[in-house]
Amino acid sequence: MKNKIISVGFTLILFLSLLVANATDTKASSFIPIVEGSYLTYDDESIGYATKMTRGIDLLNGYSKVVRLGPGNIYAGGTTVAAHTVEKVKIAVLVERIKGEGYSWEYYANWAKENEDSNRVSANRELKVEGGYYYRVRCTHSANDDVSSSFTNGIFIEEP
């Protein structure tokens, strides 16, 4: 009888702890707005990784990155990594901005870079930007004919 009471007590404690944990996780994640796949955050930086390809032997990985350097100043770019040395490895970087939830991402800047007979390429820049917006980076990664993409969350940049 004593073992049964202890067993029921532990089961009740386990059940209540799972209930509290689930309620906390759901509540915390519902306060962060998301627009077109990117969370709108106040983080100092965000990194997005390339989506996996179902076919292809040349492209290994790629990522996009945006970093808040200070009010009105960001570092943006990305890297493409091939699985081996390829004829052409490329990256195209697109910087977008948004005022907040209820708006759409809009073009801000872009650039591209290509390396021949290499296994990687990086393209990064420091940009002076207008404050009061969230900024994100989207990259297109390619190694020969293999192509993938990545994007970051949006980070808020204050007025200078």
Distance CA 8, CA 136 (A): 51
52 DSSP assignment: P
| Structure confidence at residue 24 (pLDDT) | 39
Contacts 24+ apart (CB under 8 A), 65-68: 65/124, 65/137, 65/152, 66/95, 66/135, 66/136, 66/137, 66/152, 66/155, 67/155, 68/43, 68/44, 68/155, 68/156, 68/157
| Structure confidence at residue 21 (pLDDT) | 47
Record the pTM.
Answer: 0.79
Check if the beta carbon of residue 95 is closer than 8 Å to that of residue 152. Answer: no
| Structure confidence at residue 23 (pLDDT) | 43
11 DSSP assignment: H
pLDDT tens, N- to C-terminus, the chain (160 residues): 666 666 655 554 655 555 544 443 444 456 889 999 999 999 999 999 998 776 689 999 999 999 999 999 999 999 999 999 999 999 999 999 999 988 999 999 999 999 999 999 999 999 999 999 999 999 999 999 999 999 999 999 999 8
Q: What DSSP string runs through 130-151?
A: -SSEEEEEEEEEEETTEEEEEE
